[in-house]
Amino acid sequence: MTATGLRQTSMSSASSDLTLVESLAHMSVGEAPVEGTQAQPQTADVRDDILKAPTNMWENHKDFCPITVPHTNDPGWFELDEDVIKALPEPGSKVISSTQYGQSFWGPTAKIVVRVPDGEHVAYFLKVFVLEAFGNTMSTGEFESLRVIYEASPGYCPKPFAHGRYARQEPETYFLLMEFREFGKVPAEPKALGKSLAEMHKTSQSPTGRFGFHIPTCYSRIVQDVDHWDESWCAVFKRHLARFVEHGNNVLKWPEWDVVAACTLEKVVPRLLLPLQEEGRAIKPCLCHGDCWDGNTAMDMRTGKAMIFDVCTFYAHNEYDIGNWRAPRHRLSNKAYIKAYKQSYRMSEPVEDWDDRNRLYSLPYNIASACYVPGSDQRPVIYIDMEVLCKKFCPEFLEEKMQELRERQKAAGIAPPQPVEVAGTSGVVADDDEEEEEEEEEEEEELD
Contact 366, 236 (CB under 8 A): no
What is the reported pLDDT for 133? 87
What is the reported pLDDT for 413? 86
What is the reported pLDDT for 75? 57
- CATH class of residue range 190-447: alpha beta
Stretch among 48-57, 217-226, 288-297 having the lowest mean pLDDT: 48-57
Contact 26, 295 (CB under 8 A): yes
What confidence tens digit (pLDDT) does each residue in 309-345 have?
999 999 999 999 999 999 988 899 999 999 999 999 9
Select the more confidently predicted residue: 101 or 177: 177
Phi, psi of 249 (to 5 degrees): -60, -40
Stretch among 34-38, 273-277, 361-365, 388-392 having the lowest mean pLDDT: 34-38
> Taking 80 as the threshold, does the pLDDT of residue 32 lie above it?
no
Residue 67 per-residue DSSP state: P
First CA to last CA distance, the chain: 23
What confidence tens digit (pLDDT) does each residue in 63-72 have?
333 333 334 4
Stretch among 7-16, 67-76, 139-148 having the lowest mean pLDDT: 7-16
Stretch among 71-80, 176-185, 221-230, 265-274 having the lowest mean pLDDT: 71-80
Contact 126, 181 (CB under 8 A): no
Cut 0.85: pTM above it: no
> Taking 80 as the threshold, does the pLDDT of residue 56 lie above it?
no
Select the more confidently predicted residue: 321 or 38: 321
Where are any strands of DSSP class E within 41-120? 94-100, 109-115
> Taking 90 as the threshold, does the pLDDT of residue 167 lie above it?
yes
What is the reported pLDDT for 286? 98
Whole-number Å distance between alpha carbons of 320 and 29: 18
What confidence tens digit (pLDDT) does each residue in 399-438 have?
999 999 999 988 988 877 666 655 566 555 444 444 444 4
Position 256: which residue type? Answer: E
- Nearest CA to 95 out of 108, 109, 82 is that of 82
Mean pLDDT for the chain? 81
Contact 288, 321 (CB under 8 A): yes
> Taking 60 as the threshold, does the pLDDT of residue 271 lie above it?
yes
The CA-atom distances, in angstroms, between 308 and each of 24, 69, 142, 428 are 16, 27, 13, 23
What is the reported pLDDT for 151? 97
229-230 and 174-179 strand pairing: unpaired
- Nearest CA to 301 out of 101, 14, 3, 12 is that of 12
Where do you find CATH 3.90.1200.10 in the chain? 190-447
Residues above pLDDT 70, as percent of the chain: 76
What is the reported pLDDT for 220? 86
Whole-number Å distance between alpha carbons of 13 and 322: 21
Position 333: which residue type? Answer: S
Select the more confidently predicted residue: 249 or 64: 249
- Nearest CA to 215 out of 199, 227, 203 is that of 227
In this prediction, residue 34 has a pLDDT band, given cuts at 50, 70 and 90, of very low
Contact 373, 224 (CB under 8 A): no
Select the more confidently predicted residue: 418 or 47: 418
Select the more confidently predicted residue: 165 or 373: 165
